[in-house]
């Protein structure tokens, strides 16, 4: 029993030490390419869409920490098993740590933006973990009955005298190899040293990352965005608070386990593929172009009816149309594949960049450079398309191609290729299951149909007739519209439903549909108790 416990503890400590070393190497050489994050990224990409949907729905923005915790736990478990087996069969040590190493290396190399040496941290970590465990679980050449000094002397004498195999046999007879089982002082000391070493390595990794983040934060703050050649007009009077979403509360949806860190000084964008002239731009090049400023509502296709993955910001950017005209889009190219530094691909219809809407390469969000988690230094933004189809963050490459020839990341996973935003509406007030006094109650919320605009919003109480809500002023057809409705609430339980009609006259469908594969439908309904 104590042998197994000893193996388990040694396995855990050796794995912790190996991982810390790997993370330190990654932090120093390739930020964001640590084995934990690499395995996490591979798991995200391999996760079937329904499971991903479930995770996004149930865990929201916590999905990433939860995933990393689960991976750490699984790793710990495997380390414990390797240690327990290794305490009995030495061969289990290289096999166990080897398997973990192969998984880590494979995960690192499977990342779409990987380079060959991305496997090195995981490889080094596995070798360190294996060697450490080997060392910790080394059997002692001590015969149980013999006095501690005796075997040492016995070992030395015959070997030194003859150096012959015969002598070795004699040694084994004198001092049989026995696996240790307990926790003697020497082992405890070693475990403590290794734990401290892991702590130092982890601390070093965090320190290096912290330094880099500070430098990056500084260069982001130092980035002076030019004024827009076409500033957004001031928001119309009468807009209610909350129209513009603050950067700090803007929803975030992406597959990046760690936020990509891009040095704006080395960032570049390449426009290539089915174009007459390839274009390569630095950030300075981009910022020399005339910038437009627009209020645009961005939402996620994964948003459930009534869900939170939507926000409106004032974006500053370079119109993509002008860049594409310069590059000369060739006949037949119908898809722009945007690639980000971490290897995301987002496919956007070429028409949506050339039909006159404000599709842009955004550099600013609500009066400051893009926050790191929203795509610093440059992201795409396509009004009227869900984020997965038009809003590539951390973008570095635009390839003109066809939808026939290439499926972007989400399309490969079954999501619709087009990504047109569906007309939708949401009740924000009152909250579900709220209790209130009878009398006049203000029901309020938002409705959106980017590119088409909202024509009408209606509210129905307890499934009764639809009454038109008041629409507040809004910025454009690309922004949501705030609405309110004065309801004379009578005592009892009630359900409130909302539906919107876009400016083409199409009414938001009642039919419930899940976000997969091209956006949720159905009326948002809130149940409240009056009196
Ligand atoms: N590089 C990259 N860009 C991305 C994504 C991603 O996973 N990686 N997710 C897309 C999705 S699904 C959405 S809804 C929007 C969300 O943008 P936000 O996080 O700034 O709100 O970014 C899009 N751009
Ligand atoms: Mo999304």
Across 12-36, average pLDDT: 92
Q: Is 254 in the pocket of ligand 1 (CB under 6 A)?
A: yes
- The answer to whether 474 and 236 have CB atoms below 8 angstroms apart is yes
Q: Give the domain 247-412 fold.
A: Sulfite Oxidase; Chain A, domain 2 (3.90.420)
User: From the centroid of its chain, how far is CA 208?
Assistant: 21
Strands 454-461, 466-468: pairing is antiparallel
Q: pLDDT class for 374, splitting at 50, 70, 90?
A: very high
User: Which residues are registered as beta bridge partners of 443?
Assistant: 485
- The answer to whether 353 and 375 have CB atoms below 8 angstroms apart is no
Question: Could you read off the pLDDT of 40-88 as tens digits, one per residue?
Answer: 999 999 988 888 888 877 877 788 888 999 999 999 999 999 999 999 9
- The answer to whether 270 and 279 have CB atoms below 8 angstroms apart is yes
Express the helix, strand and coil content of the chain in percent, nearest 5 each.
40, 25, 35
Top CATH class of 424-530 equals: mainly beta
Q: What pLDDT, on the 0 to 100 scale, is given for residue 142? A: 56
| Closest ligand 1 atom, residue 380 Cα | 24
User: Which residues are registered as beta bridge partners of 380?
Assistant: 361
Domain assignments of the chain as residue spans, ordered by start: 3-140+185-210, 247-412, 424-530
Q: Is 393 in the pocket of ligand 1 (CB under 6 A)?
A: yes
Q: Which residue minimizes the CA distance to atom 16 of ligand 1?
A: 253
Which of the 8 DSSP states describes residue 472?
P
Q: Is 374 in the pocket of ligand 1 (CB under 6 A)?
A: yes
Helices (H), 391-480: 409-412
Cα 264 to ligand 1 centre (Å): 19
Contacts of 436 by beta carbon, 8 Å cutoff, 6+ apart: 430, 489, 528, 529, 530
Cα 379 to ligand 1 centre (Å): 9
Q: Is 90 in the pocket of ligand 1 (CB under 6 A)?
A: no
Strands 439-448, 466-468: pairing is unpaired
User: Which residues are registered as beta bridge partners of 201?
Assistant: none
Q: What pLDDT, on the 0 to 100 scale, is given for residue 179? A: 67
Question: Could you read off the pLDDT of 205-231 as tens digits, one per residue?
Answer: 999 999 999 999 999 999 999 999 999
Cα 253 to ligand 1 centre (Å): 5
Work out the percent of the chain whose per-residue pLDDT is above 90. 83
**3-class DSSP assignment, residue 463:** coil
- The answer to whether 188 and 182 have CB atoms below 8 angstroms apart is no
Q: Which residue minimizes the CA distance to atom 9 of ligand 1?
A: 254
Q: Is 440 exposed, middle or buried (0-12, 13-18, 19+ CB in 10 A)?
A: exposed
Q: Is 315 in the pocket of ligand 1 (CB under 6 A)?
A: no
């Amino acid at each position: 029993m104590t042998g197994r416990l000893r193996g388990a503890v040694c396995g855990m400590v050796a794995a912790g030490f190996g991982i810390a070393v790997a993370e330190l190497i990654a932090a120093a050489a390739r930020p964001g390419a640590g084995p934990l994050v690499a395995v996490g990224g591979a798991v995200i990409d391999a996760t079937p869409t329904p499971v991903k949907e479930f995770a996004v729905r149930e865990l929201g923005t916590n999905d990433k920490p939860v995933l990393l915790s689960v991976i750490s736990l699984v790793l710990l478990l495997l380390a414990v098993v390797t240690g327990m087996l290794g305490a009995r069969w030495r061969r289990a040590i290289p096999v166990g740590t080897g398997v973990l190493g192969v998984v880590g290396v494979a995960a690192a190399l499977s990342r779409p933006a990987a380079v060959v040496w991305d496997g090195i941290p995981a490889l080094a970590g596995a070798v360190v973990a294996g060697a450490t465990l080997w060392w910790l679980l080394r059997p002692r050449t001590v015969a149980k009955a013999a006095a501690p000094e005796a075997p040492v002397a016995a070992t030395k004498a015959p070997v030194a005298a003859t150096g012959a195999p015969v002598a070795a046999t004699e040694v084994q007879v004198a001092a049989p190899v026995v696996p240790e089982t307990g926790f003697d002082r020497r082992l405890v000391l070693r475990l403590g040293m290794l734990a401290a070493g892991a702590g130092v390595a982890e601390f070093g990794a965090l320190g290096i990352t912290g330094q880099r983040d500070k430098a990056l934060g500084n260069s982001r703050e130092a980035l002076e965005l030019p004024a827009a050649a076409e500033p957004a007009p001031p928001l119309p009077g009468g807009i209610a608070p909350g129209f513009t979403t603050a950067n700090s509360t803007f929803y975030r949806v992406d597959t990046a386990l760690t936020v990509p860190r891009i040095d704006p000084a080395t960032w570049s964008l390449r426009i290539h593929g089915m174009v007459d002239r390839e274009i390569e731009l630095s950030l300075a090049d981009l910022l020399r172009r005339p910038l437009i400023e627009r209020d645009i509502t961005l939402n996620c296709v994964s948003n459930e009816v009534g869900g939170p993955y939507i926000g409106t910001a004032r974006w500053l950017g370079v119109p993509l149309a002008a860049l594409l005209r310069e590059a000369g889009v060739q006949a037949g190219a119908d898809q722009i594949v945007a690639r980000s530094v971490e290897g995301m691909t987002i496919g956007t219809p070429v028409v949506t960049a050339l039909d006159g809407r404000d599709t842009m390469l955004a550099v600013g969000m609500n009066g400051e450079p893009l926050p790191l988690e929203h795509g610093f230094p440059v992201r795409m933004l396509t009004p009227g398309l869900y984020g997965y189809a038009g809003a590539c963050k951390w973008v570095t490459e635009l390839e003109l191609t066809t939808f026939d020839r290439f499926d972007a990341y989400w399309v490969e996973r079954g999501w619709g290729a087009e990504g047109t935003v569906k007309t939708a509406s949401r009740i924000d007030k009152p909250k579900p299951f709220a209790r209130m006094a009878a009398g006049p109650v203000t029901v309020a919320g938002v409705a959106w149909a980017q590119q088409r605009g909202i024509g009408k919003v209606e509210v129905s109480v307890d499934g009764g007739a639809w009454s038109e809500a008041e629409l507040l002023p809004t910025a454009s057809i690309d922004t949501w519209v705030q609405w309110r409705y004065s309801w004379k609430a009578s005592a009892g339980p009630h359900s409130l439903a909302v539906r919107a009609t876009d400016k083409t006259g199409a009414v938001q469908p009642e039919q419930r549909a899940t976000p997969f594969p091209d956006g949720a439908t159905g009326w948002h309904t809130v149940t409240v108790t009056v009196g």
